[in-house]
Amino acid sequence: MLPDKVRLFEVGARDGLQNEKQEVPANIKVELIERLVDAGVSAIETGSFVSPKWVPQMKDTADVMERLTRKEGVVYSVLTPNMKGFEGAVASKATEIEVFSGASEMFSQKNINCSIDESLERFLPVMQAAKDKNIPVRASVSCALGSPFDEEIKPEKVAEVSKKLYDMGAYEVSIADTIGVGTPLQTKRVLYAVANVIPLGAIGVHFHDTYGQALANILAALEMGVARLDSSVAGLGGCPYAPGATGNVATEDVVYMLDGMGIDSGIDLKKLVKTAWFISDFLERKPVSSVANALKSKLD
């Protein structure tokens, strides 16, 4: 039951850069986003409207959004934890917003300073305001396959939070392995629990690759018919509030796998790999992506 086509949601400019120690100026972020769109990315996280004290790396999101030359039909999405964030998103003409909750109580407290239930309550006015303005909302459920705080995460808890977010109006719920610990059969168990309560077509997956399991987990999700995948150019990523969370699965690795399986992602691998090297050169390190490294000598 493999899909013929997937939607890749590129998270490098947000999930990736939010975790960088060095400052990445707005013009580099803009060039990164524009290059990704030129490579065929059709949905992209451009930043977050969150507290600059919590995540200083995203404090220039309004500036980035202002400077971007946008391409018609592309989704430019931003994270919004509350109404203040939503107002920033509207002012910057984001085409979509993202709310983020989790299946771990401790992570919720550390990441957004409230319980899971309180986070859902905070999203209610955001979801309503988005509905009033016809702005699509994507939601994310963190720590769905494991918590950095030594708690057991039950698939039923992931399903419960996913259903609440879907019922509140999210068109997609992205099931996130924030600390990259999940394995393929576990992935299937969690996705089955979620698919029991929301439509399969509304499920997305977001894997970090800390333990090298992300591509295997993506294959497990594809085999169930999941066709919404998050990935991050050059494998950038992590979450400042999840100890041990390293990079997301690299978009280049995902696209190479999809190309080999005859699944359409709409992305030009060569342009993507050049973009991975563009941002990695700026950050003065090699991409963690095997594909970006393997293809480097074949770029010109």
Pick from ligand HMG, Mg ion, none: which does 275 bind, CB < 5 to 8 A by kind?
A: none
Distance of alpha carbon 102 from alpha carbon 221, whole angstroms? 19
Binding-site partner at residue 222 among ligand HMG, Mg ion, none, CB < 5 to 8 Å by type: none
**Residue 265: both structure tokens together:** 């992602």
Binding at 119: pick from Mg ion, ligand HMG, none (beta carbon under 5-8 Å per type)? none
* 243: contact with ligand HMG by CB under 6 A: no
Residue 82 sits in the site that holds ligand HMG (CB under 6 A) = yes
Does the footprint of Mg ion cover residue 209 (CB under 5 A)?
no
Nearer to Mg ion, 146 or 274 (CB): 146
- Rounded CA-CA distance 110/299 in Å is 42
User: Is there a catalytic annotation at residue 239?
Assistant: yes
Residue of the chain from 27, 113, 128, 196 that contacts ligand HMG (CB under 6 A): 113
| Backbone phi, psi, residue 141, to 5° | -115, 105
Q: Which of 157, 164, 206, 228 binds ligand HMG (CB under 6 A)?
A: 206
Q: Does 81 bind ligand HMG (CB under 6 A)?
A: yes
Q: Does residue number 177 form part of the binding site for Mg ion (CB under 5 A)?
A: no
CB 74 within 8 A of CB 41: yes
Those residues with Cβ within 8 angstroms of residue 162's Cβ, 6 or more apart along the chain or in another chain: 139, 141, 173, 175, 194, 197, 198, 203
66 touches 33 (CB < 8 A): no
Q: Which does 54 bind (CB under 5 to 8 A by kind): ligand HMG, Mg ion, none?
A: ligand HMG
CA distance 260 to 33: 25
Tell which residue, 173, 181, 188, 176, has the closest CA to residue 144: 176
CA 154 to chain centre: 22
Least distance to ligand HMG, CB of residue 125, Å: 13
- DSSP H/E element including 229: strand 228-231
Does residue 275 belong to the site contacting ligand HMG (CB under 6 A)? no
Nearest to 106 by CA among 80, 139, 142, 140: 142
213 touches ligand HMG (CB under 6 A):
no
Of the ranges 23-31, 47-55, 67-75, 187-195, which one interacts with ligand HMG (CB under 6 A)? Answer: 47-55
Task: Enter the DSSP assignment of 95.
Answer: S
CA-to-CA separations, 27 to 59, 154, 227, 263, 295, in angstroms, rounded: 14, 42, 32, 33, 26
Output 204 or 287, the one with its CB closest to Mg ion: 204
- Say whether residue 15 binds Mg ion (CB under 5 A): yes
Of residues 127, 161, 170, 239, which has the active-site annotation? 239
Which residue's C-beta sits nearest to Mg ion? 15
> Which residue ranges make up the site for Mg ion (CB under 5 A)?
15
> Which residue ranges make up the site for ligand HMG (CB under 6 A)?
15, 18, 48-51, 54-55, 79, 81-82, 84-85, 100, 111-113, 140, 142, 176, 178, 206, 239, 241
Q: Provide the annotated active-site residues.
A: 239
